[in-house]
């Protein structure tokens, strides 16, 4: 299962090599002009039938959030920081894989018998234990600057899956499926991007190179649909699991082009593909936030898989939502023409 | 004439040139670089762009060295009753300004001081006064001040450059004049070596204001590789060990998403080969330097960051070890010497097909 | 000009959804400009004249607004902000949606916590039944624009005043001529990150830029420190949080103001930035200045400005654009 391979692969922002190699093997027989740019983005072109004259970019990011080694304690424990946004509260007792050799480790946590404070312990004060007992041994095993990933494998739960890096290996998997299907009416310029989680970095240079007329980003987004506490303030769930792929209207990084939002919604309605709108209320940006501001501007839209517990080792995604992500985009792209971008 | 680093750094440090007002230090740098380079170019915001051509066949690839030349400073925001209220130009630390002598660049340069209520009077000595309560006193009657100073005039620190014991020195604006000096050292070294690639040295403007100068200079120059040179936190009490570095143990080389791993490894190797002391600085995200802007210019530029550790950053009394400046300059020159026709291919990311590992087995 | 400002201030155009105000401005400028078009992100661009120097003047069309985020357990709509919406300005405000629905803003604990101002999450929109308003719909505030003597009081003087100033300057320059190729850009999405100006400047490749906006005056009780006063004239930008105007650009504007006897004041504004911050970073860099109209009660429904300052801004912009723009060597 491509989704499993992708999620289990390790590719913390700036260290996406294994994921890139994997994606390459899945698309190489379907694309041309494959290259890796200066930041590590994997770029390629899925030739179309030539019926529509539009330069279309599709992007999904390869990187996952993780940690990075910054130092050693004298007793061999590793000091680290986050790469991308991580809530420090998920870390106590978490299993990790350190460095290119994937040395197993665990985030140490003082026993409750001895320390029951409820204050969040910041990442600066947490430590990773790889089993050595001296600074020298730690230095020999691991270099400062090496990346650390969550140690977690994809598990099928039924209608859902649980695993790490669904953000955004699910988007990558959908994009691969789209590439492997029938060609579109136009050439599709695909970008499997790097470093989205540390500032939408790869997407920006990919778009600056591709210079598209329009761009679509395949993402995975937050979903907070747990049982509500009636005493707590009423909050949006952002998206709902099982509600279909989520179209962004507005997020912190972008106002989606309203013409594209309308077009995607009409496509979903016409084809009977479920979809929802992502609530604008919460933090979060996507590669489209960078893409739409490149050069003279690029009308852009985002279609995302709702996913619980993002940015952790055990996210949960609904497989129907996931399938409908690529179904919705396939239907939209088959119907996409320059008329969609005309202004009324 | 051999480069006198101390003299050069003293001149750079004492020249007043805050963000968007870099003219005076631009002139100093241009004078120092003129005998070392072939030509100068312009961009839209006023960075100094110096070109030293290589010996390789055309078209020659370009490496850009970028060190911002602006310093933190202040700008007059209000003139009231002969006293001056200011706003920052760059990341000036207002907590370090009480009782500091300054220079107000009005119709003429006026010495002044950030006054404070005497200890006898201060109600609250547990907190530093906020910027809005800090007024500069130039010691003149209100009507004279109104005639000599207006909103928008610059204020810089009146802080001399002084050698300390050993190889250390204290001065203002070592962030980032120490790095500019390192580039001068590099350019000077290159006059005694040959290099195939073109070298473009940029003394960038306005780093302290959203990396503006590096952003547009990178667009203009469009290099194949880039190295930003900046300063980093020196070890001192009150500063976290993980993010600070010893003075005198060499410059730091950045490692993290902002830096191309191939370029990082190549520079680290050159340092090793030449026995130049080098420390590694892990930066998990935004590096806070020009490198962040340069990396995402055009279709992406492999970028590295070399930083010189200094203490007391963003105060008028920064401290540096001069040997770290020399090491940085020498490392840059030694690395530039290694650049050849295969460099870009060598550091490039590889796809499985490039590893010549074929998948079809009979 | 009063009628124009009233019409513009009352128009609907929250950040990202500026089409209504764009159509209005287009109707005003189409007879005045040599060429008019809409670019990739929705900026309205007018070209006037042909000369060696390409000059871009930018005024943003968008206003701060809200966007519905979800319907709560009781059926009231919750919202998020488009741009810098001050919670203190919300209670009792009215929001209009594109379909015409007008909803008042309510707040939780209206009486029981009446001395506290909650964050945006504590407010809600009171929508009529079957309003047709759904999550993702944008809204803008409703407020009548009033002139009283010299004063105008309205919502969105930030930045419909800037738009009006540009339109009037365009009108004047059409009459008196200009040595440059002038681009008047009515930009989108300034309030959410100066986005339209960023891509617009890249596309236009100007040699010189000016941003026209409002600037908060410092002459009200406990206002953020600023030497800007209502009635002090056109505000020539020295710097804001993301833009330091090059000395020669600022001095050029001062010179033009003094030559023509236009009242002016110097503006150090540390509460935010304007489109100029984006324009200056386009491509290889663009020397960029700013001319602003002083205003009080900024980002509320009763922003306040003076006619004299508005006229001074028009005069100054026209004076700068009608004359040579040269950096002294």
What's the mean pLDDT in B219-239? 96
What is the least distance, in Å, from the CA of B44 to any CA of chain C? 4
B146 and B185 assigned to the same domain: no
Residue B152: predicted pLDDT: 92
pLDDT at C71 over 80: yes
Could you give phi then psi for residue A323, rounded to 5 degrees?
Answer: -65, -40
pLDDT of the residue at C73:
80
Q: Is residue B311 part of a domain?
A: yes
User: Domain of B80: which CATH number?
Assistant: 2.40.30.40
State how far the Cα of B199 lies from the Cα of C118, in Å rounded to an integer. 56
pLDDT of A242 higher than 60: yes
Which pLDDT does position B354 carry in this prediction?
62
What is the largest distance, in Å, between two alpha-carbon atoms of chain A? 70
Q: What percent of chain B has pLDDT over 70?
A: 95
Q: Considering chain A, what percentage of its residues have pLDDT values greater than 90?
A: 89
Report residue A64's pLDDT band, with 50, 70 and 90 as the boundaries.
Answer: very high
Mean per-residue pLDDT for B289-318? Answer: 96
Q: Where do the domains of chain C lie?
A: 2-63+145-322, 66-141
Of A227-236, A268-277, B20-29, C127-136, which gets the smallest average pLDDT?
A: A227-236
Q: Is residue B121 predicted with pLDDT exceeding 80?
A: no
Architecture of domain A2-64+164-224+236-338: 3-Layer(aba) Sandwich (3.40)
pTM over 0.90, yes/no? yes
Residue tagged active-site, from A64, A196, A197, A219: A196
Rg (CA), chain A: 21
With contact defined as 3+ CB pairs under 8 Å, the chains touching A are: B, C
> Closest-CA residue in chain C for A344?
C19
**CATH number for the domain including B214?**
3.40.630.10
Question: Considering the domain boundaries, does residue B134 fall inside one?
Answer: yes
Candidates 2.40.30.10, 3.40.50.620, 2.40.30.40, 3.40.50.300; CATH matching C66-141: 2.40.30.40
User: Over the stretch A151-182, which tens digit does the pLDDT of each residue have?
Assistant: 999 999 999 999 999 999 999 999 999 999 99
Pick from B116, B133, B157: which residue ends a domain? B157
Write out the H or E segment, with its range, that includes residue B304: strand B303-311
Does the pLDDT value for residue B117 go beyond 80?
A: no
Strands (E) across chain C are located at: 35-38, 44-48, 54-60, 65-71, 77-82, 94-97, 102-107, 123-125, 138-141, 146-148, 151-154, 181-187, 208-216, 234-240, 243-244, 264-269, 288-295, 303-306
Has residue B329 been placed in a domain?
yes
Same domain, B36 and B148: no
Q: How far is C274 from chain B (nearest CA, A)?
A: 14
- Confidence grade of residue C154 (pLDDT, cut at 50, 70, 90): very high
Q: Are residues B253 and B342 in the same domain?
A: yes
Residues B152-203 pLDDT 10s = 999 999 999 999 999 999 999 999 999 999 999 999 999 999 999 999 999 9
Produce one character per residue of A84-118: b if its CB has 16 or more CB atoms within 10 Å, e if not. Answer: bebeeeebeebebbbbeeebebbbeeeeeeeeeee
Which residues of B are catalytic, by number? 207
CATH architecture of C2-63+145-322: 3-Layer(aba) Sandwich (3.40)
Q: Which residues of A touch C199 (CB under 8 A)?
A: 293-297
Residue A293 has pLDDT above 80, yes or no: yes
Spell A61-83 as b/e; 16+ CB within 10 A means b: bbbbbbbbbbbbeeebbbbbbbb
Predicted confidence at residue B128, as pLDDT, reads 82
Residues 6+ apart with CB under 8 A from A258: C16, C17
Q: Report whether pLDDT(B359) > 50.
A: no
C-alpha–C-alpha distance, residues C107 and C122, integer Å: 6
Judged by a CB distance cut-off of 8 A, whether residue B44 touches chain C is yes
pLDDT digits (tens, 9 = 90+) for C18-45: 999 999 999 999 999 999 999 999 999 9
**C135/A255 CB distance under 8 A:** no
Cβ-nearest to A198 among B261, B285, B348: B285
Task: State the total domains in chain B.
Answer: 2
The answer on B84 and B197 residing in a single domain is no
Whether residue B253 is found in the same domain as residue B212 = yes
* pLDDT number for residue B360: 38
> Which residues form the domain of B332?
5-71+172-347
pLDDT at B127: 80
Whether residues B77 and B108 share a domain: the answer is yes
What percentage of residues in chain B have a pLDDT greater than 90? 84
C199 touches chain A (CB under 8 A): yes
Nearest CB partner across the interface for C198, out of A249, A293, A299: A293
* Average pLDDT for B132-143: 92
Lowest mean pLDDT among A225-234, B140-149, B171-180: A225-234
Final residue before a domain boundary, out of B157, B184, B203? B157
> For residue range B308-327, what is the model confidence (pLDDT) as tens digits?
999 999 999 999 999 999 99
pLDDT band at A289 (very low <50, low <70, confident <90, very high): very high
pLDDT at A344: 63
Structure confidence at residue B355 as a pLDDT band (50, 70, 90): low
Whether residue C97 lies within 8 A of chain A, CB to CB, comes out as no
pLDDT for A201: 97
| Mean pLDDT, range B11-36, rounded to an integer | 96
Instruction: Report the pLDDT value the prediction gives residue B88, as an integer from 0 to 100.
Output: 87
C251-306: pLDDT as tens digits: 999 999 999 999 999 999 989 999 999 999 999 999 999 999 999 999 999 999 99
In a domain, B40, yes or no: yes
Residues of C in contact with B210 (CB under 8 A): 242, 277, 281
Check residue A313 and give left, alpha or beta (phi > 0: left; psi -120 to 50: alpha).
alpha
Above 80 in pLDDT, residue B357?
Answer: no
For residue B356, the model assigns a pLDDT of 47
Domain boundaries along the sequence of chain A: 2-64+164-224+236-338, 66-150
C-alpha A102/C-alpha A99 separation (Å) is 5
| Mean pLDDT score across all residues of chain A | 95
Tell whether B235 is covered by a domain: yes
Cα–Cα dist C228/B335, whole Å: 52
Cβ contact, residue pair A249, C192, below 8 Å = no
Quick one: average pLDDT of A178-197? 98
- Please give the mean pLDDT across all residues of chain B: 93
CATH number assigned to the domain covering A66-150: 2.40.30.40
Give the residue-averaged pLDDT of C82-90: 95
Q: Which among B241, B300, B350 has the least Cβ separation from residue A37?
A: B300
């Amino acid at each position: 299962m491509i989704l499993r391979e992708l999620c289990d692969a390790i590719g913390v922002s700036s260290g996406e090599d294994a994921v890139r190699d994997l994606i390459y093997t899945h698309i190489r027989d379907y694309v041309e002009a494959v290259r890796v740019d200066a930041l590590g983005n994997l770029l390629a072109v899925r030739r179309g039938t030539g019926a529509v004259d539009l330069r279309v970019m599709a992007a999904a990011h390869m990187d996952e959030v993780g940690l990075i080694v910054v130092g050693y304690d004298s007793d061999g424990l590793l000091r680290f920081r986050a790469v991308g946004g991580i809530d420090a509260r998920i870390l106590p007792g978490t299993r990790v894989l350190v460095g290119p050799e994937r040395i197993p480790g665990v985030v140490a946590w003082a026993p409750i018998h001895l320390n029951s404070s409820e204050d969040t312990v910041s990442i600066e004060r947490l430590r990773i234990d790889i089993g050595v007992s001296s600074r020298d041994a730690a230095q020999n095993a691991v270099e400062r600057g090496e990346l650390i990933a969550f140690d977690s494998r994809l598990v099928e739960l039924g209608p859902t899956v649980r695993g790490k890096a669904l953000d955004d290996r699910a988007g990558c998997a959908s994009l691969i499926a789209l590439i492997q299907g029938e060609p579109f009416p136009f050439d599709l310029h695909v970008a499997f991007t790097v470093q989205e989680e540390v500032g939408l970095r790869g997407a920006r240079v990919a778009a600056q190179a591709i210079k598209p007329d329009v761009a679509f980003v395949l993402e995975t987004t937050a979903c907070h649909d747990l049982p509500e506490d009636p005493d707590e303030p009423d909050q949006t769930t952002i998206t709902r699991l099982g509600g279909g792929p989520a179209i962004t209207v507005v997020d912190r990084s972008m106002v989606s082009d309203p013409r594209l939002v309308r077009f995607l919604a009409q496509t979903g309605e016409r084809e009977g593909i479920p979809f929802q709108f992502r609530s604008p209320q919460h933090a979060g940006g996507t590669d489209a936030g960078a893409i739409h501001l490149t050069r003279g501007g690029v009308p852009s839209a985002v279609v995302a898989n709702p996913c619980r517990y993002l940015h952790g080792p055990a996210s949960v995604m609904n497989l129907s939502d996931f399938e409908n992500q690529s179904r919705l985009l396939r239907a939209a792209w088959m119907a996409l023409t320059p008329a969609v971008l005309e202004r009324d | 004439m051999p480069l006198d680093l101390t003299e050069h750094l003293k001149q750079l440090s004492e020249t007043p040139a805050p963000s968007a007002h870099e003219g005076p230090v631009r002139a100093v740098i241009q004078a120092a670089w003129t005998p070392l380079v072939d030509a100068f170019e312009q961009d839209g915001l006023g960075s100094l762009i110096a070109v030293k051509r290589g010996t390789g066949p055309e078209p020659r690839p370009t490496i850009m060295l970028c060190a911002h030349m602006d310093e933190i400073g202040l700008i007059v925001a209000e003139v009231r009753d002969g006293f001056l209220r200011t706003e920052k130009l760059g990341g000036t630390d207002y907590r370090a300004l009480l009782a500091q002598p300054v220079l107000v660049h009005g119709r003429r340069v006026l010495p002044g001081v950030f006054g404070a209520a005497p200890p006898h009077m201060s109600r609250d000595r547990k907190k530093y006064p906020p910027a809005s309560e800090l007024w500069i006193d130039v010691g003149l009657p209100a009507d004279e001040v109104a005639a000599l100073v207006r909103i928008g005039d610059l204020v810089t620190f009146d802080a001399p450059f002084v050698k300390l014991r050993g190889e250390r020195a204290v001065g203002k604006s070592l962030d980032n004049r120490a790095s500019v000096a390192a580039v001068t050292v590099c350019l000077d070294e290159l006059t005694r070596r040959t290099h195939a690639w073109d070298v473009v040295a940029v003394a960038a403007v306005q780093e302290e204001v959203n990396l503006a100068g590096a952003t547009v200079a990178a667009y203009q120059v469009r290099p194949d590789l880039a190295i930003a040179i900046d300063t980093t936190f020196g070890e001192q009490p009150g500063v976290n060990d993980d993010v600070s570095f010893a003075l005198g143990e060499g410059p730091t080389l950045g490692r993290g998403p902002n830096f191309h791993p191939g370029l990082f490894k190549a520079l680290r190797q050159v340092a090793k080969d030449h026995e130049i002391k080098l420390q590694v600085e892990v930066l998990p995200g935004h590096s806070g330097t020009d490198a962040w802007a340069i990396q995402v210019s055009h279709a992406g530029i492999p970028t590295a960051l070399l930083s010189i550790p200094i203490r007391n950053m963003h105060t008028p009394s920064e401290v540096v070890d001069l040997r770290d400046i020399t090491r940085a300059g020498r490392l840059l020159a030694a690395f530039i010497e290694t650049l050849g026709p295969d460099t870009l291919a060598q550091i490039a990311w590889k796809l499985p097909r490039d590893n010549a590992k074929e998948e079809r087995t009979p | 000009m009063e009628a124009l400002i009233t019409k513009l201030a009352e128009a609907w155009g929250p950040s990202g959804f500026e089409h209504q105000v764009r159509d209005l401005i287009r109707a005003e400028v189409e007879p005045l400009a040599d060429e008019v078009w809409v670019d990739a992100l929705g900026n309205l661009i007018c070209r006037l004249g042909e000369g060696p120097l390409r000059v871009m003047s930018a005024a943003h069309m968008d206003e701060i607004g809200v966007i519905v985020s979800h319907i709560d357990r009781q059926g009231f709509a919750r919202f998020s902000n488009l741009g810098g919406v001050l919670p203190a300005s919300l209670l009792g405000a009215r929001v209009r949606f594109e379909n015409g629905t007008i909803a008042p803003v309510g707040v939780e604990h209206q009486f029981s916590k009446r001395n506290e101002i909650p964050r945006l999450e504590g407010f809600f929109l009171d929508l009529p039944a079957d309003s047709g308003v759904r999550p993702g719909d944008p809204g803008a505030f409703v407020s009548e624009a009033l002139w009283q003597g010299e004063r105008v009081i309205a919502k969105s003087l930030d930045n419909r005043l800037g738009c009006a100033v540009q339109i009037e300057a365009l009108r004047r320059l059409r009459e008196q001529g200009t040595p440059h190729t002038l681009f008047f850009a009515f930009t989108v999405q300034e309030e959410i990150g100066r986005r339209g100006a960023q891509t617009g400047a890249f596309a236009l490749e100007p040699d010189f830029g000016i941003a026209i906006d409002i600037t908060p005056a410092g002459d009200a009780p406990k206002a953020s420190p600023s030497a800007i006063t209502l009635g002090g004239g056109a505000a020539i930008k020295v710097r804001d949080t993301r833009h330091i105007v090059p000395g020669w650009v600022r001095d050029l504007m001062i010179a033009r103001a003094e030559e023509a006897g236009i009242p002016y004041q110097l503006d150090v504004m540390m509460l935010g930035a304007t489109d100029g911050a984006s324009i200056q970073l386009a491509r290889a860099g663009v020397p960029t200045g700013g001319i602003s109209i002083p205003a009080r009660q900024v980002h509320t429904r009763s922003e306040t400005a003076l006619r004299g300052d508005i006229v001074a801004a028009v005069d100054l912009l026209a004076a700068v654009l009608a004359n040579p723009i040269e950096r002294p060597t």
